[in-house]
Amino acid sequence: MFFKKKIMQQSNRIKGMQIHEIHPILFGCDPTDPENKTLLTRKQHAEVVTWWNRKLKELKQEMGD
């Protein structure tokens, strides 16, 4: 919550931005660590999520899942 509160205080700068975990929680990263958060535009967020989804699919295929 600290990160979200801090970000909301800068609301003019972040209007239209999305909070994104740099290293996904799915891969074991701390969801509350502010160092693992960044702001992205919607377009950037979509690109990063697409990249991580591909990476996850590749890893699952390598593991035979």
User: Contact, 36 vs 21, CB < 8 A?
Assistant: yes
- With a CB cutoff of 8 Å and minimum separation 6, the contacts of 15 are none
pLDDT tens for each residue of 8-33: 666 666 778 888 999 889 888 898 89
Tally the domains of the chain: 1
Residues facing residue 40 across a β-bridge:
18
Is residue 9 in a domain? no
Angle at 25 between CA 19 and CA 50, to 5 degrees: 65
- Greatest mean pLDDT among 2-6, 24-28, 42-46 lies in 42-46
40: in domain = yes
The pTM (predicted TM-score) of the whole model is: 0.67
- Residue 44 belongs to what domain range? 18-63
Residues 49, 35: Cα–Cα separation, whole Å: 18
